[in-house]
Amino acid sequence: MAKAIKQIKRIEVSEEEKRANDLKEIEDALLDNKDALLETLSVVGGMKERGILTLLNGLFGEGDRVLKVIVDLLNVPENTTALKNLMLLFGAAGKINVQDLEPLLLKVNSGIENVAENSEKNEKTGYLDLLRALKDPEINRSLTILITFLKGMGKDTENEEKVNDKSQSSEMRQDI
């Protein structure tokens, strides 16, 4: 029967061999990611040329002071209100159906172009000119769109607002 092994001799790697293996591993990684590294160095070089790296170094060096200034600025009631309004604005923008809005935006752009082209004319519009303009199909279509928009704005949305207010207040309570 074979004898049990009581001593295990570890193969010791010298410091020089370990360093050579580490350098070889780093070299292989550099070669494998050559394109990404060159692009990263290009970005960092651009940041250095524009002084962004100096700015970041200063910010990190004075991190506590910078953080205190930012907190003090955010603590002002006007800024707090502005941040709340900005969040509400982003929330409202998320509810807008862009596909429905696109045709209207194209028409608004067309109207702006028309104003830009004819803004140098100093003609005055009289009452009779307004009545004649109502016969123009483009103006009539625009007025119909405007009236439809105003009807939509006049709808009672009190129930929708209360639902949103309740959900926002419950979300705020959960955050606290």
Q: What is the pLDDT of residues 49-78, one digit of tens each?
A: 999 989 888 888 888 888 888 888 888 888
**What's the farthest any 2 CA atoms get from each other in the chain?**
121
Integer Cα distance of 86 and 80 in angstroms:
10
Are 74 and 80 a contacting pair, CB within 8 Å? Answer: yes
| Residue 123 reports pLDDT greater than 90 | no
**Strand, coil or helix: what is 75?**
coil
Q: Residues near 133 by Cβ (< 8 Å), separated by ≥ 6?
A: 125, 139
**How much is the pLDDT for 164?**
52
Distance from chain centroid for Cα 22: 41
| Residue 38 reports pLDDT greater than 90 | yes
Average pLDDT for residues 78-88, to the nearest whole number?
89
The H or E element that residue 129 is part of is: helix 127-133
